[in-house]
Chain A
Amino acid sequence: MELNAMIAAKRIATCTRNVRQKLQLNNYFSSKVPDVPTWVPIDKEKLPKVPELDEAMVNHLERLSLVKFNNQAGVERLYKAIEYANQLHMVDTEGVEPLDSVLENRSVYLREDKVTDGNCLKDILQNASQTVEDYFVAPPGNIPLKSSDRKSLK
Chain B
Amino acid sequence: MVSIHQISLRRLCRLFALVFRHNRHCSNSSKNRSAQTWRSVVGLEIHAQIQSESKLFSGASTKYAGSTNTQVSIFDAAIPGTLPVLNRRCIEAGVRTAGALGCKISQVSKFDRKHYFYADLPTGYQITQQRHPLARDGKVKYLVYNTDNWNKYNWKTASIIQLQIEQDSGKSLHDADRNRSLIDLNRAGVGLMEIVTAPDFTDGEDASSFVRELVLILRRLETCSGKMEEGALRVDANISVHRPGEPLGVRTEIKNLNSIRSVGRAIDYEIKRQIAELESGREIVNETRSFDAQSGQTIAMRDKEKLQDYRFMPEPNLLPVFLYDSKSVPMGVDRASVIVIDNLLQGLPPAPSESYERIHKDHKISIRNCVILVNEDGLLKMFDDIIEKRDAKALTNFLITDFLGVTHARNINLLQSPVPLRHIADLFDMKTDRCISNDNISQVLELMFDFPDKTPAEIVKEKQLDNIQDTEVLRAECEKTLLKHPDVVQRWKVSQQKEKKGRQDPVIKLVNTTMTALKNRADPLVLISIFEKLLSKK
Contact = CB atoms under 8 A, between A and B. Distances in A.
Contacts of A112: 88-89
Interface in A32-49: none
A66 B117 CA distance: 8
Interface in A100-154: 100-101, 103-104, 106-121, 123-125, 127, 132-144
B130 interface: no
Interface residues of B, number: 60
A102 to B, nearest CB: 10
Contact of A111 (B70, B72, B86, B119): B86
The majority secondary structure among interface residues of chain A is loop
A135 B74 contact: no
Interface string B421-443: 00000000000000000000000
B59 A116 contact: yes
Contact of A136 (B74, B110, B183, B301): B183
B501 interface: no
Interface string A48-91: 00000000000010011010000000000000000000000000
Nearest to B112: A100
B314 interface: yes
B190 to A, nearest CB: 12
Given A114-B59, A141-B118, A121 B181 contact: no
24 contacts: A60-B309, A64-B115, A109-B85, A109-B319, A111-B86, A113-B88, A114-B54, A115-B60, A116-B59, A117-B60, A117-B73, A117-B75, A118-B59, A118-B76, A119-B71, A120-B72, A121-B72, A123-B74, A124-B77, A134-B69, A135-B173, A136-B69, A138-B180, A140-B179
A103 B53 contact: no
A115 to B, nearest CB: 5
A125 B322 CA distance: 37
B86 A108 contact: yes
B61 interface: yes
B69 A104 contact: no
Contact of A113 (B52, B73, B184, B302): B52
Contacts, number: 145
Given A113-B54, A115-B61, A139 B179 contact: yes
A142 B119 CA distance: 10
Contacts of B90: 113
Nearest to A98: B314
Interface residues on A, range: 35 or more
B179 A113 contact: no
B182 interface: yes
A142 B67 CA distance: 27
B54 A64 contact: no
A137 B60 contact: no
A113 B179 CA distance: 39
A111 B87 contact: yes
Contacts of B306: 63, 144
A119 B71 CA distance: 6
Contacts of A134: 67-69
B53 A124 contact: no
B111 to A, nearest CB: 9
A134 B338 CA distance: 39
B91 interface: yes
A140 B180 contact: yes
B260 interface: no
B307 interface: yes
B174 A140 contact: yes
Nearest to A106: B319
A107 B319 contact: yes
